[in-house]
Chains A and B, each alone.
Chain A
């Protein structure tokens, strides 16, 4: 049953779940929600499994028209919709869910009770636009949901304060040693972990460029090797790039560290201008 019609896709809109795994050797990145913490909460509020397909919205400008009475939930970045972030409510046909003003963070998640019914490709509903994998969304498209609305459930809900995140104030990001850790000397390591960093404007679902300190990339050519999501690569210009969920599966730049998965969902929500620091997990 169609639950939503897309009025506008805004700065960016895609379907995401927790990604496709087992396809890296074909050059296919995992994709999946940039902030799985928020995506999971949107689903829980809607009464779904944590990994059900959700809509992932970038910043602002998205507009959705409700076609079927259903419980909807919003989590992640607050963007001024009639359902506040970290809340759920039952909406009626004709209601509009519009996201006019991004206030904090980058990514907002919208879940519908039952989960969006989107064809799975390689085991996942996640859109990977560069590969032409999954469903690309356009204004006028309709999204179906799986299953019936369960009106016996309480229509409203919210996430406990302790689980809501203030994306303007990220914690210290936890970093594991990267495969080329030994290539970076003591001074480079110290500089890396004492700098205040922020995410550059030239960032997307494939990679986040960091600004804060210019590193001296280590000498020596390396052969391309398999890359893990969260890897912090240092290219010849000395400005680190963190491989995100749509990032390439192989890479040839030295990697000083790997962002821990728990910290990666925080990093994903850091807008340019939000300062953060990183600390090594010993």
Chain B
């Protein structure tokens, strides 16, 4: 592991391991540790792929804090059983980029849809918008670059592909991913506040997602 100071009160710690599955498991374990610990001197934290950003309330001694946290992260047992819910998400595969993208991949639309709906995806992280999942496990035949001209408006529920990830737009926003389908499932709903504000988010990092083609 290595660390980089980010200004006076934050540090970015990289925890990549040779095996990507081990990196993912380590990331989950770090998230569980930080969540169970509560706030304290840490104002916020976020994890993306192989890095965790720790933001403290006040200025820190970066070397001392980093050494302490890296030791705690290294001691975690990434094999500890974790709660991972599986969500089935019905999708109508009728997005505006579907036909062109399938053709570019050298696939028929039906074949493209079958390949997209086959895997059980892993929620790598939530980012970009509140509750927007970066899903890992996309068939390499479906990897696709972002659109050269991002759309000014992509609707909430749009299922899309960006690079090696697939994802679901959680709120209406501009967007550059290739839009292939739609779901009525709400990934982020600010009116769901019981038992706590966490209920606004359908998914959490580490959860699993399966797309189910719907008419």
Which B residues are in CB contact (< 8 Å) with A131? Answer: 129-130, 171, 188, 190
Please pick, from B39, B48, B173, the residue contacting A226 in the complex, using a CB distance under 8 A: B48
- Give Cα distance in the complex from A258 to B198, angstroms: 30
Q: How far is the CB of A259 from chain B (nearest CB, A)?
A: 9
Contact: B53 with A130, CB < 8 Å?
no
Contact with A along B177-190 (1 / 0, CB 8 A): 00000000000101
In the assembled complex, A261 has its CB within 8 A of some CB on chain B: yes
Q: How far is the CB of B59 from chain A (nearest CB, A)?
A: 11
Which B residues are in CB contact (< 8 Å) with A258? Answer: 6-7
Return the chain B residue nearest A131 by Cβ.
B130
Contact with B along A24-57 (1 / 0, CB 8 A): 1111101000000000000000000000000000
In the assembled complex, A220 has its CB within 8 A of some CB on chain B: no
Would A24 and B46 be within 8 Å (CB), given that A122-B197, A226-B12, A228-B53 are in contact? yes
Which B residues are in CB contact (< 8 Å) with A22? Answer: 39, 43-44
Which B residues are in CB contact (< 8 Å) with A260? Answer: 7-8
Contact: A226 with B47, CB < 8 Å?
yes
Please pick, from B7, B39, B190, B201, the residue contacting A132 in the complex, using a CB distance under 8 A: B190
Contact: A225 with B126, CB < 8 Å?
no
Which A residues are in CB contact (< 8 Å) with B7? Answer: 176, 228, 230, 258, 260-261
Contact: B197 with A248, CB < 8 Å?
no
Which A residues are in CB contact (< 8 Å) with B49? Answer: 223-225
In the assembled complex, A193 has its CB within 8 A of some CB on chain B: no
In the assembled complex, A138 has its CB within 8 A of some CB on chain B: no
Contact: B12 with A26, CB < 8 Å?
no
Return the chain A residue nearest B198 by Cβ.
A26
In the assembled complex, A249 has its CB within 8 A of some CB on chain B: yes
- Give Cα distance in the complex from A248 to B46, angstroms: 12
Contact: B6 with A130, CB < 8 Å?
no
Which A residues are in CB contact (< 8 Å) with B6? Answer: 176, 178-179, 228, 258
Contact: A30 with B127, CB < 8 Å?
no
Return the chain B residue nearest A28 by Cβ.
B130
In the assembled complex, A133 has its CB within 8 A of some CB on chain B: yes
Contact: B171 with A130, CB < 8 Å?
yes
Which A residues are in CB contact (< 8 Å) with B52? Answer: 226
Q: Give the number of residues in A that approach B within 8 Å (Cβ atoms).
A: 34
Q: How far is the CB of A258 from chain B (nearest CB, A)?
A: 5
Would A27 and B129 be within 8 Å (CB), given that A223-B49, A224-B49 are in contact? yes
Contact with A along B13-24 (1 / 0, CB 8 A): 000000000000
In the assembled complex, B50 has its CB within 8 A of some CB on chain A: yes
Please pick, from A21, A27, A226, A261, the residue contacting B131 in the complex, using a CB distance under 8 A: A27
B window 99-137: CB within 8 A of A: 125-132, 134
In the assembled complex, B55 has its CB within 8 A of some CB on chain A: yes
Which B residues are in CB contact (< 8 Å) with A223? Answer: 48-50
Return the chain A residue nearest B187 by Cβ.
A27
In the assembled complex, A68 has its CB within 8 A of some CB on chain B: no
A window 65-81: CB within 8 A of B: none
A window 216-267: CB within 8 A of B: 223-228, 230, 248-250, 258, 260-261
Q: How far is the CB of B82 from chain A (nearest CB, A)?
A: 15
In the assembled complex, A121 has its CB within 8 A of some CB on chain B: yes
Contact: A249 with B197, CB < 8 Å?
no
- Give Cα distance in the complex from A153 to B43, angstroms: 35
In the assembled complex, B92 has its CB within 8 A of some CB on chain A: no
- Give Cα distance in the complex from A226 to B190, angstroms: 23
In the assembled complex, B51 has its CB within 8 A of some CB on chain A: yes
In the assembled complex, B10 has its CB within 8 A of some CB on chain A: yes
Contact: B47 with A27, CB < 8 Å?
no
Which B residues are in CB contact (< 8 Å) with A23? Answer: 44, 130
Which B residues are in CB contact (< 8 Å) with A122? Answer: 197
Please pick, from B4, B8, B45, the residue contacting A25 in the complex, using a CB distance under 8 A: B45
Interface centre among A25, A179, A248, A258 (most CB of B within 10 A): A25
Listed A/B pairs (20) with beta-carbon separation below 8 Å: A22-B39, A22-B43, A24-B53, A24-B55, A25-B31, A26-B130, A26-B131, A131-B130, A131-B190, A177-B5, A179-B4, A224-B134, A225-B12, A225-B48, A225-B49, A228-B7, A249-B127, A249-B128, A258-B6, A258-B7
Seen from chain A, the residues whose Cβ lies within 8 Å of a Cβ on chain B are 21-28, 30, 121-123, 128, 130-133, 176-179, 223-228, 230, 248-250, 258, 260-261
Beyond the given A21-B44, A225-B51, please list 12 additional residue pairs across the A-B interface where CB-CB is below 8 A: A22-B43, A23-B44, A24-B53, A25-B126, A26-B131, A130-B173, A131-B130, A132-B188, A226-B46, A228-B7, A250-B125, A258-B6
